[in-house]
Amino acid sequence: MSQNHLRPAPSRTVRTVAGTTTVTLHGELDLRTAIPLTVQLDTLTSGPCPDLVLDLRPLSFIDCAGLRVLCRTRNRVRARHGRLRLITTDDGFLRILRAAGLRDAFEIHSALPAAEVGTASVDASCVGMG
């Protein structure tokens, strides 16, 4: 049990290009790490029409607290007429989403072509904002 306290906290990198913010998550997304990530994602989705990409490929583990973070972020982005994309190649994670009834709740890609970053299809109310 004490080994859990010795694990390094997962890192995340954030970059913004042409109005699209990409957050790459490394390590584990679980009960221990969900709150700090939620705070950061809430900040990133606080404005109108957020365009957010969450790169989950480097994640080694995600639990129900991690799914809750993803759902909360999706709801915040949709409420602000933005776009959220998840990047994953993990078949296990996709099975978890299907089992939870969440597979169709997210826009999921195995990779994000450079040409697609910054070309969000957003609600018409976002045109001219920013």
- The pLDDT tens digits of the residues spanning 59-117 come to 999 999 999 999 999 999 999 999 999 999 999 999 999 999 999 999 999 997 564 55
Q: Which CATH number fits domain 14-112: 3.40.50.300, 3.30.750.24, 3.40.50.720, 3.90.1300.10?
A: 3.30.750.24
Length of the chain counted residue by residue: 130
Distance CA(57)–CA(54), nearest Å, equals 9
Q: Which residues contact 15 (CB under 8 A, 6 or more apart)?
A: 21, 22
- Whether the Cβ atoms of residue 49 and residue 123 lie closer than 8 Å to each other: yes
Q: Where are the domains of the chain?
A: 14-112
- The pLDDT tens digits of the residues spanning 20-69 come to 999 999 999 999 999 999 999 999 999 999 999 999 999 999 999 999 99
